[in-house]
Amino acid sequence: MPKIFTTLDRIKPVYDVTYKIVLVICKLLLIGDILITSMCVLGRYVSFIPDPAWSEEVVLTFMSYMAVLSAALAIRRNAHIRMTAFDRFLPPKVLKVLDLISDAAILVLSVIMITYGWNYASVIGAKATYVSMPALSKFWMYFPVPLAGIAMLVFELETVYNHIKAFYQPGYGEDALVVPKTKEEEVAKS
């Protein structure tokens, strides 16, 4: 079984590049948010700086892209909040199975985000326009949902692979799957 893991490990650079691309997109969106908001605020008080009417809608759209894309990035880093109160009382194999069940739920969510998000973006979003920018379709306001669904699917597939790999390689991922023991437990054990 380790031979297939060696073969599949060659895909990791693709995940790394995808992660970096999504991270750069989030950073650019944040920079855009800061610049547009700064221009809007300064435009209210400084007469020669314009205060564009479209600033609020663009900032909110950028923020929605950042929110859902950064949530997808957190999947890869395993940075989402999780309930770990009972992890130290469960055997490592049970934790691995529970992680796979959690992964299946996230995969289902990502597929729902892709299908329903695309439906909303292409049907509802295509029929409306931004109030301050009538030439721009609201498709772009709804598009972050399917886009994040795709990113979540990509990163979650890597997570599933890592959790399956943990079953076949002793010690692989144990530190990420098991909560460290408290000092009291260490003292009581010795």
Residue 128 included in any domain:
yes
pLDDT at site 177: 41
- Phi then psi dihedrals of residue 133, to 5 deg: -135, 80
Residue 116 included in any domain:
yes
Residue 20 included in any domain:
yes
Residue 161 included in any domain:
yes
Number of domains in the chain: 1
What is the chain's mean pLDDT, rounded? 86
pLDDT at site 103: 93
pTM for this model (two decimals): 0.79
Contacts of 66 (CB under 8 A, 6+ apart): 26, 29, 30, 33
Of the ranges 31-40, 79-88, 95-104, 157-166, which one carries the lowest mean pLDDT score?
A: 79-88
Taking 80 as the threshold, does the pLDDT of residue 182 lie above it?
no
Residue 101 lies in domain = 2-180
Note the pLDDT tens digit of each residue in 112-162. 999 999 999 999 888 888 888 888 888 999 999 999 999 999 999 999 998
Residue 188 included in any domain:
no
124-147 in b/e form (b: 16+ CB < 10 A) is ebeeeebeeeeeebbbbbbbbbbb
Residue 118 included in any domain:
yes
Taking 80 as the threshold, does the pLDDT of residue 73 lie above it?
yes
Residue 186 included in any domain:
no
